[in-house]
Copies of this chain bind each other. A is one copy, B any other.
Amino acid sequence: MTEKIARVLEPESIAVIGASNTEGKRGYDTVRDLEHGEFEGDVYPVNPKYDEQILGLDVYPSVTDVPADLDLAFIVTPASTIPPILEECGDADVPGAVVLASGFSEADEADLEREVVETAVDNDVYVLGPNSQGFANGADLNLMGGYHVPDGTVAHVTQSGDVALMLSSEAAATGSNGFSFNVDIGNEANLQFHQYLPMLDAHEGTDAIALYAEGMADGRQFLRTARDIVPETPVVLLKGGRTDAGKQSAASHTGSIAGNADVVEAAYRQAGVVSVDSTEHVVPVATTLANLSPPDGNRVAVLSDSGGHATLAADAIARTDELELADLSSETETRLQEAVPVAPNVANPVDIVGIQGDSGDLSIYHTTAEILVEDPNVDLLLVAGTLGGYDEYGPELGDNNEVDVARRVARLDEEYDTPLVVQSMYGKQGSAALDAVEEEGVPALGSVDTAVECLASLAAYGRHLRTADEKTDFTFDRGGDQRHEVVAAAREAGRTQLSEWESKRLLESHDLPVVPTELAASPDEAAAAADSFDDRVAMKVASPEIVHKTDVGGVALDVDPVDARATYEELVETAASHRPDAEIPGVLVSPMLDDGVELIVGVVDDEETGPAIMVGLGGIFVEALEDVSFRSLPVTEFEAREMLDDLAASDVLDGMRGRPAVDRDAVVDLLCGVSDLVAATPGIDELDLNPVVATESGVSAVDASVTLADEP
């Protein structure tokens, strides 16, 4: 398959189906551009309506008439013609086709799209599209129109042709950082995102992959494939539509807290995919990942000859979650002081003021940069400020060898295996010195923020690689034969919502920690249950139809056992008055728990990336602050621990103001146990443990709610 896709994306013979003799039509322009452009392969116009030549080339009535082995059919005909044409492509053994036509699922014509996909599969033809703007490769082929894409080591695969055009036009305008491939996958109907990855991973001229995706057709398969290739070929993702998920912050269950975007982003990060938020960062970050080896840590030294840029770089570093300013060794500070006697600031960010003084000796840049990368406390170097502008824009310093100095600074990356990026205030204008930096494979950027984003992404990538073995392998498959009796009973009763009591039974059957809970079917049973706990109790109406028990007055806390009978009657009465439709088989009775930290643990099934687990601080704070963390299922112990560390309020778990730390191991066990439970129980659509109370000696689910999928 990889070879076949490679043949399609680097074709040597192309049939243009729907070729035309009318200038301005895509069927003409494509033939003209292929024949008169840089493409060195063969071009075969196909159109049954023509018997004359197009631009001196013979026209064939069908792709089956072409007297050559074709690598690609480029189809510019309308939507309705596509299925029969794909059949002919199959007959002619064409491995792949690009379909430009729109008018498929994006225009509510899903049936026609389905027919295209079926025809493609039946005829063994890979279809790129439909509704694609085409693709270009870095060799000699531009089937996309617009700018010719300069060659480069980043492959760009996108769901928006206009984003592809934007990035390639910018690459052409700035004269650097082009693409090995630029592919608009259109409706992703047949060839899907994940199918490009192995081919691009294997491609010699591709060192990183950049994606623009709004939603992937098979996100779960993408996760598995991405995880396999990222150690060799890093993947950068700009996710569009992140904020369309329509969170309903007021509701309380996991499904509504989890905006899809958060779940999806967590899943991609888990697979080692590097996320960026802005089109501005796609190419610089992908180029950085393509060119530089990831660091062992996240400690950045900043070297600048401008106090302002040093400060702005330190600010930008502090704004990232990923990076920190390196704490330079005292030896380094002493060496810097000796190297730059004119009042430098030798603490990080290092400011080598005075470089614009009389001497004009720019080699101080190399000297100080080398001192910094020799410091074992430094994992990454950011050179910021004026380097790259002395020769062409600065005061006349005489022969200061700026190009040579810049080149030697850039080479420190490989000499010391410490990745570095150069930010120059003249980065947007460019200079010979900055060209020299890029020739050495080091990014040279105009923006401080973009430079820091590049370093942060590289550090995140390095962190993933160091911990990849500890992470899930996305082999999660729900199913199995441990169908629990409560699930069977609910199915039999035609319910998808398990009651709290049923949900807790299901948890207990997997040895998950649940507050002891008795289902009392009468006031007397409630009193007996309360007595048996020998403690004050919590009482809640038990009904599969009432999920939000507090809202119907169905919860009583801290009840004295002697009041259990009366409380039973009160709860049932109040709940029934709110919800006269609901069947109320009884009241749940549990002992009150000691004070602890309330957590929420939940599972959602995301349309794009599959089931995911969530943990957050519970109670009103998860609702007001949405401080939660997600991972795709299954989760490893390492990942469960990471989830707790991710929480903004993570410190709360460690005990503050004299409170004891909670038992993190128990929380981690619970998360892993929920992961196992969902894997072993077919058809769980959503699971909520809210609250879970964590104390210094353990963890316990106080409430539980499981919802089944409509179909098992």
Number of identical monomers bound together in the oligomeric complex: 2
Determine how close the nearest CB of chain B comes to the CB of A391; give it in whole angstroms: 13
Complex Cα spacing A351 to B383, Å: 42
Complex Cα spacing A508 to B227, Å: 63
Knowing A24-B396, A315-B241 touch, does A280 contact B429 (C-beta < 8 A)?
A: no
> What does the 1/0 interface line of A378-395 toward B look like (CB < 8 Å)?
000000011001000111
Report whether A311 and B240 are in contact in the complex, using a CB–CB cutoff of 8 Å: yes
Knowing A162-B306, A624-B649, A649-B621 touch, does A550 contact B658 (C-beta < 8 A)?
A: yes
Q: Of residues 122 to 178 in A, which have CB atoms within 8 Å of B's CB atoms?
A: 145-147, 158-163, 165-166, 169-170, 173-174
Report whether B278 and A448 are in contact in the complex, using a CB–CB cutoff of 8 Å: yes
- Which residue on B lies nearest to A108, using beta carbons? B343
Q: List 25 A-B contacts (CB under 8 A).
A: A24-B396, A107-B343, A145-B395, A146-B394, A160-B308, A163-B312, A166-B425, A169-B425, A173-B428, A173-B429, A214-B308, A240-B311, A241-B311, A242-B315, A243-B315, A249-B651, A277-B449, A278-B316, A550-B658, A620-B659, A621-B649, A621-B652, A623-B656, A623-B657, A624-B650
Complex Cα spacing A395 to B23, Å: 11
Q: Of residues 387 to 410 in A, which have CB atoms within 8 Å of B's CB atoms?
A: 389, 393-396, 398
Question: Is A646 part of the binding interface, using a Cβ–Cβ cutoff of 8 Å?
Answer: no
Report how many residues on chain A are interfacial, defined by Cβ distance under 8 Å: 82
Question: Is A205 part of the binding interface, using a Cβ–Cβ cutoff of 8 Å?
Answer: no
Complex Cα spacing A648 to B24, Å: 55
Complex Cα spacing A409 to B145, Å: 27
Knowing A214-B311, A449-B278, A659-B620 touch, does A146 contact B318 (C-beta < 8 A)?
A: no
Complex Cα spacing A160 to B313, Å: 14
Report whether B241 and A163 are in contact in the complex, using a CB–CB cutoff of 8 Å: no
Question: Is A339 part of the binding interface, using a Cβ–Cβ cutoff of 8 Å?
Answer: no
Knowing A163-B309, A447-B280 touch, does A657 contact B252 (C-beta < 8 A)?
A: yes
Task: Select which of B318, B425, B624 is within 8 A of A648 by beta carbon.
Answer: B624
- Which residue on B lies nearest to A345, using beta carbons? B106
Question: Is A53 part of the binding interface, using a Cβ–Cβ cutoff of 8 Å?
Answer: no
Question: Is A521 part of the binding interface, using a Cβ–Cβ cutoff of 8 Å?
Answer: no
Complex Cα spacing A163 to B310, Å: 11
Determine how close the nearest CB of chain B comes to the CB of A112; give it in whole angstroms: 14
